[in-house]
Amino acid sequence: MRNMRIPMARRRAMAVVAAVLLAGGVAACGNSDTGGDGGDDGKLVLGFSQVGAESGWRTANTNSIKEAAAEAGIELKFDDAQQKQENQIKAIRNYIQQKVDVIAFSPVVESGWDTVLKEAKDAGIPVILTDRAVDSADKSLYKTFLGSDFVKEGRLSGEWLVENKKDATGDVNIVELQGTTGSAPANDRKKGFAEAIAADPKLKVIASQSGDFTRAGGKQVMEQFLKAHPKIDVLFAHNDDMGLGALEAITAEGKVPGKDITIITIDAVKDGMQALADGKFNFIAECSPLLGPQLMDLAKKVHAGEEVPPRIETEETTFTQEQAKEALPNRKY
Ligand code: GYE
């Protein structure tokens, strides 16, 4: 452990040297410990590579992680990868070089992680996946995966639609705004939704495209959908933000969201819940971003060499317009 007494002036000088050495590195957030177990004051050091800042969900997730680390007395090194896998790989390599105690990350896409995960394993640094999964066949490359069941979220959305449109006559035309191409939530939500709506042949997905989980993406792709398809009955957006962006496109076309077009989204962040309570959205499947406390707990356990379950699922629910009105005043994110 590195809990030794170093005079303040010297510690400051060391910190300055370290900061200079690390300047320019992706994960240069003030690490003055490059020597192994524990950070300053012997704190557990967790290197976390975040996907980006693409949505309200992500902001809430980042806040939860930062707050929980501070509360748990964990030294957090945080990097925002701006939705780019290459940046995440760089950040993880940086954490390996810095010999952090535990690495956690939310993989932007599912594939292409084996090499860097192997490097972490060889360095003896345990890895925790949070929020999104990887498709690595070798499960020994990470200790656990903490996050939601995205297939279930898609299925619950589809099941609600089947029920909601059961009395409709003629084809029900659905457009789908997918999340980031190749990401676990985009792949899984699409799958779960498709499985559920297969129960009713009149429910037809007539267009499906990625809006990259952003408001701007949702707006832009919805504009294209509206131009290309005169009859759109339903929008299924893989997150609230894309749905919120799409609202602008729908209103600009002179259509009434929530009435002319039934809107289903996933996440249930505050802005999404507000749109649902206001009658602009019709249904939201919740996806909780508050993973921080559980992540810190897991980081401590894997660092101590304790066994942890390979999969930890987040608990969540769904909201109708009435339920959103009730839940909104106490919504934390
Ligand atoms: O639904 C979306 C975010 O990975 C579950 O990423 C997360 C998704 C979330 O951008 O809003």
pLDDT in tens, 120-155: 999 999 999 999 999 999 999 999 999 999 999 999
Q: Distance from the CA of 171 to the center of ligand 1, in angstroms? A: 30
User: CATH: 1.10.760.10, 1.10.3720.10, 3.40.50.2300, 3.90.1150.10. Which one for 150-287?
Assistant: 3.40.50.2300
Q: Is the pLDDT of residue 12 over 60?
A: no
Indicate the SS3 state at residue 237: strand
Q: Distance from the CA of 264 to the center of ligand 1, in angstroms? A: 15
Tell me which DSSP letter residue 316 carries: -
**Distance between CA 331 and CA 270 in Å, rounded?**
7
The two three-digit tokens of residue 164, written as one number: 């909601």
Q: In one letter, which amino acid is 94?
A: N
Share of the chain above pLDDT 90, in %: 87
Q: Report the pocket of ligand 1 as residue ranges, CB < 6 Å.
A: 54-55, 57-58, 131-132, 185, 213, 239, 241, 266-267, 287
Superfamily of domain 45-148+289-315: Response regulator (3.40.50.2300)
Sequential DSSP letters for 245-264: HHHHHHHHTT--BTTTBEEE
- Pocket test of ligand 1: the residue of 57, 148, 183, 271 to mutate, having most ligand atoms within 8 Å of its CB, is 57
**Distance between CA 276 and CA 247 in Å, rounded?**
12
Query: Parallel, antiparallel, or unpaired: how do β-strands 311-313 and 144-147 relate?
Result: parallel
Q: Is the pLDDT of residue 15 over 70?
A: no
The two three-digit tokens of residue 181, written as one number: 């191409």
Which among 65, 54, 25, 263 has a CA at the least distance from the CA of 146? Answer: 65
**Distance between CA 147 and CA 251 in Å, rounded?**
34
Query: With bands split at pLDDT 50, 70 and 90, how would you rate the model's confidence at 223?
Result: very high
Instruction: Give start-end residues of each CATH 3.40.50.2300 domain in the chain.
Output: 45-148+289-315, 150-287
* Max CA distance (Å), the chain: 79
Q: In one letter, which amino acid is 159?
A: E
pLDDT of residue 332: 86
**Distance between CA 287 and CA 153 in Å, rounded?**
8
Question: Which one is predicted more confidently, 300 or 17?
Answer: 300
- Ligand 1 closest atom vs CA 241: 11
- Pocket test of ligand 1: the residue of 55, 130, 187 to mutate, having most ligand atoms within 8 Å of its CB, is 55
- Ligand 1 closest atom vs CA 147: 5
Whole-Å CA distances, 294 to 62, 95, 116, 125, 291: 14, 21, 24, 19, 6
